[in-house]
């Protein structure tokens, strides 16, 4: 198996796809990981095992609706955090007396935080209203392979197959 981390030539050519003996093909990563766990439990060197994902596709999972309410809440929370940082950094709500004493005025501190929360809310609503790409949903994207292949070096294949045979008879 060619290992991109060890080969000095790989530093010049970039990473390569490992080659070797295929122990199994799986429809999802969890099944491939389970096979690797069996190998590691049987004292097989984890550095010699590779999981290769074939035919990668981008999967977008929809998380929820997106409307002005959620946009406003998100902007308010962002503004609240920014206001909290500014209020702490600038010492808002702290007043020095003529005799050198310090006095804390929480209403000034809280007002700075709430004003910036309102500004954040308004800016987020305006940004969403004028954006050309208005999608009505929230989503996350992640790459997923259509199949996963577990491989080991040809020289270590008999040991790996022996470990898998022992683990399948033990179940």
Token pair 């804390």 is found at: 104
Strand partners, 51: 150
Residues contacting residue 152 through CB under 8 Å, at least 6 positions apart? 1, 20, 21, 23, 39, 44, 48, 49, 50, 160
Predicted confidence at residue 90, as pLDDT, reads 86
**What number of other Cβ atoms are within 10 A of residue 1's Cβ?**
17
Domains and CATH numbers, the chain: 19-62+145-170 (3.30.70), 67-134 (no CATH)
Q: From first to last of the 171 residues of the chain, give the pLDDT tens digit.
A: 445 455 565 567 778 889 999 999 999 999 999 999 999 999 999 999 999 999 999 999 999 888 899 999 999 999 999 999 998 998 888 888 888 888 888 898 999 999 999 999 999 999 998 987 778 888 999 999 999 999 999 999 999 999 999 887 766
Closest Cα partner for 35 from 171, 149, 153, 169? 149
**What number of other Cβ atoms are within 10 A of residue 79's Cβ?**
22
């Amino acid at each position: 198996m060619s290992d991109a981390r060890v080969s000095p030539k790989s530093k010049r050519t970039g990473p390569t796809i490992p080659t070797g003996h295929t122990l199994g093909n799986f429809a999802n990563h969890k099944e491939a990981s389970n096979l690797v766990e069996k190998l590691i439990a049987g004292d097989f060197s984890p550095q010699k095992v590779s999981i290769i994902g074939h035919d990668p596709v981008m999967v977008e999972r929809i998380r929820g609706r997106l409307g002005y309410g959620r946009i406003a809440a998100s902007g308010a929370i962002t503004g609240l955090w920014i206001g909290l940082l500014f209020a702490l950094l600038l010492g808002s709500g702290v007043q020095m007396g003529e005799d050198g004493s310090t006095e804390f005025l929480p209403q000034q501190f809280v007002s700075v935080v709430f004003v910036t929360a309102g500004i954040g809310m308004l800016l987020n609503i305006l940004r969403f209203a004028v954006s050309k790409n208005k999608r009505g949903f929230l989503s996350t994207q992640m790459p997923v392979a259509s199949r996963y292949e577990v491989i080991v070096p040809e020289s270590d294949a008999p040991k790996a197959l022996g470990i898998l045979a022992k683990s399948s008879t033990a179940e």
